[in-house]
Amino acid sequence: MNKYSLLLFDLDDTLLNSTWFHAGLIKTLEMHPITKNLDASIFLEKNLHIPTSLLERFKNRELTPVEFRRARWNHAFAHFNMSPDVEVIDEIDALFFKTGMACIGINNSITSLLNELKTHYNLGIVSNGLYDPQLKIIQMGLSKVFSSDTIFHAEQLGYRKPDSKIYSMVLERFGKKPEETLFIGDSWIHDVVGPIDAGMDAIWINKKGISKATAHIPIAIVSDVTEISDILLGSN
């Protein structure tokens, strides 16, 4: 598609599936002395299902990323009637970060797709993820595809998708116009609605086959990111 010169990707659940998080959390629980006897499957479920009120406070910037991570751990621990102090929570979070990152590996299909796309387009990452996207990219073996100056992390920029400021900041860094840019991701709000409202086009990675929540129209809806190859490389 010669209309576009820049492709912006979401990272988590778009290029990187969530198995690293699940595996890393379970291994962390098995390793740490205060969690090794807890039911890991229940703890994982509680960690994943964050109270809406907590998410809203985070989205509204009432909580910093560090405070949100602590609150998330505490929510899961509360199910077991446990309330570790903040030093222990931070220790567990650091252990999870190290262990989880080690669970990220290379996906040859993703690597092949991105290497081919890179010969035709500029590529970038725009992530709301709580844990360092640059290290995730390194673990995925994609540091030659995405250099550090093409990876944009909401935690560092101070704005989160779908805030229009994060998209405009990224476009300014690349020196691109919205109409030259295509956003690709799994979140309807963050990766479709936000970019379209900012003047970009979007491809929605709709893995679960859910219905659109608004009248926004992406240029394509696919079930897996590898399906964009036919759309973006078919005419090149």
Please state, for a pLDDT cut of 70, what percent of the chain lies above it: 99
pLDDT of residue 20: 95
Q: Are residues 181 and 68 part of one domain?
A: no
Last residue of a domain, one of 77, 102, 127: 102
Q: What is the pLDDT of residues 196-228, one digit of tens each?
A: 999 999 999 999 999 999 999 999 999 999 999
Q: Are residues 195 and 128 part of one domain?
A: yes
Last residue of a domain, one of 62, 77, 102: 102
Distance in angstroms between the alpha carbons of the first and the last residue of the chain: 7
Specify if 1 maps to a domain: no
The two three-digit tokens of residue 144, written as one number: 């030659």
pLDDT of residue 93: 96
Q: Are residues 113 and 52 part of one domain?
A: no
Kindly report the average pLDDT of the chain as a whole number.
95
For the chain, what is the total number of helices (H) and then of strands (E)? 11, 6
pLDDT at 1 over 80: no
CATH assignment at residue 112:
3.40.50.1000
Q: Are residues 125 and 186 part of one domain?
A: yes
Q: What is the pLDDT of residues 79-112, one digit of tens each?
A: 999 999 999 999 999 999 999 999 999 999 999 9
pTM: 0.92
The two three-digit tokens of residue 52, written as one number: 């809406």
Question: Per-residue confidence at 235, pLDDT binned at 50, 70, 90?
Answer: low
Bridge partners of residue 9, in order along the sequence: 125, 184
pLDDT at 54 over 60: yes
Cα–Cα distance measured from residue 65 to residue 71, given in angstroms and rounded to the nearest whole number: 10
pLDDT of residue 9: 98
Specify if 150 maps to a domain: yes
Looking at the structure of the chain, the number of domains it has is 2
Task: Look up tokens 């073996």; give the residue.
Answer: 141
Last residue of a domain, one of 102, 126, 144: 102
Q: Are residues 162 and 174 part of one domain?
A: yes
Domain with 133 in it: 6-16+105-233
